[in-house]
A and B are shown apart, each in its own frame.
Chain A
């Protein structure tokens, strides 16, 4: 299944690994920030609404 990348295998695989890692970090970071902001707003609105 894995294509034969020849002598450039390290270059190709490291480019894919770095890109996927950076994109995953960005998505996870954005998701966590979003959940935190949502929870913080909900808490203060619940407090205000009694």
Chain B
């Protein structure tokens, strides 16, 4: 039994068909519980007031914006090295989810920034690198749409994904690289002490789990769609030839 067996579309469709309903249901449960807990049952912050409730949207979406790109990087590398079509289609399927996550992070960040910083937007290292990441997502989707041949599109978008990874890394570490700008340091970090009080941290973890599961469910659904669309295209091409 090897992971590469699931590069076979038939096996992938069978496994994803079984996993998808569970992931979708778990995602819905985590999101509903996490957001209701965070919105209704957490106190205001002593400095930020009720705007602290935006953390349950902003942090998970920003986390996903960066990590979806890294997932696309891994699947793009698998395509470049091993030429498994499922990996290229998974990267293509993930991009619209990533663009929505980045947009949510930008919008909720602006809405949060206005009352706290007195401005919707500043050309701060983290904000700017996130905006560039958003533009990379749009460019990636546009490139897939612009090229007729699937393999050529997968090759070129994989290269774009490699280049864009620089900005995904910058988005994550910009606040560490440049000690300037309005954006605070990372709220969640594996190597630092906890920066968020438990009363906010626990519902935040549930929301993060909900966003991760939502991504997995949507990615499986969209990859299945891409596989079906590709199969339809191949069958239509055969009909035209016959």
Within 29-65 of B, Cβ neighbours of A (below 8 Å) are at 35, 39-40, 44, 49-51, 53-54, 57-58, 61
Find out whether the CB atom of A3 lies under 8 angstroms from the CB atom of B40: yes
- Verify if B138 is at the interface (C-beta below 8 Å from A): no
What 0/1 pattern do residues 26 to 49 of A give for CB contact below 8 A with B?
Answer: 110111011001101100110010
Residues of B within 8 A of A30 (CB): 96, 218, 221-222, 225
Query: B53 is contacted by which of A12, A25, A34, A48 (Cβ under 8 Å)?
Result: A12
State whether A16 touches B39 (Cβ < 8 A): yes
CB of B178, distance to nearest CB on chain A (Å)? 26
Q: Select which of A1, A9, A11, A22 is within 8 A of B104 by beta carbon.
A: A22
Q: Would you call A41 and B50 a contact (CB within 8 A)? A: no
Q: Which residue of A lies closest to B93 (CB)?
A: A30
Chain B: which residue is nearest A9 at the CB level?
B50
Chain A interfacial residues counted at CB < 8 A:
32
Residue in contact with A18 in the complex, picked from B51, B104, B222, B224, CB distance below 8 Å: B104
Please determine whether B50 and A8 come into contact, CB atoms closer than 8 angstroms: yes
- Point out the residue from A11, A25, A44, A45 that lies within 8 Å of B51, measured CB to CB: A11
Chain B residues with CB below 8 A from A48, complex form: 235, 239
Chain A: minimal CB distance from B126 (Å): 18
Q: Which of B50, B103, B239 contacts A6 (CB 8 A)?
A: B50
Chain A residues near B229 (CB-CB < 8 A): 37, 40-41
Q: Which residues of A pack against B, CB within 8 Å? A: 1, 3-9, 11-12, 14-16, 18-19, 22-23, 25-27, 29-31, 33-34, 37-38, 40-41, 44-45, 48
The chain B residues found within 8 Å of chain A, CB to CB, are 35, 39-40, 44, 49-51, 53-54, 57-58, 61, 96-97, 100, 103-104, 107-108, 111-112, 114-115, 214, 218, 221-222, 224-226, 228-229, 231-232, 235-236, 239
